[in-house]
Amino acid sequence: MNIFLILKFACAAAVVITSIFSLAYTGNNRLVSLFTQLFLSLMFLFSGISEFKTNRKTYAIVSFSVSLFAAIVFISTLLLRKG
């Protein structure tokens, strides 16, 4: 296994854990949802890198574009945070 695959699985585990935490403890959990978006963006970035290394360019481009979208949502949510 290469390092990007291990990082992808680690980020996926972090996404699952933060999602379960935000569902279990309802209320004002904006910080948890920000971490979920961050780890989701990193997961797709590492997935795109590993797909690019195995010469699956179409899947890599899709993963990079989803990662870019998730990163833009994360940054805009972080900058527009109120209170």
Q: What is the mean pLDDT of each run of 10 residues along the chain (83 residues)?
A: 89 94 82 90 94 92 95 89 63
Residue 63 tokens, joined: 């993963």
Residue 25 CB-density burial (10 A; 0-12 exposed, 13-18 middle, 19+ buried) = exposed
What is residue 64's predicted lDDT score, i.e. its pLDDT? 96
What is residue 82's predicted lDDT score, i.e. its pLDDT? 66
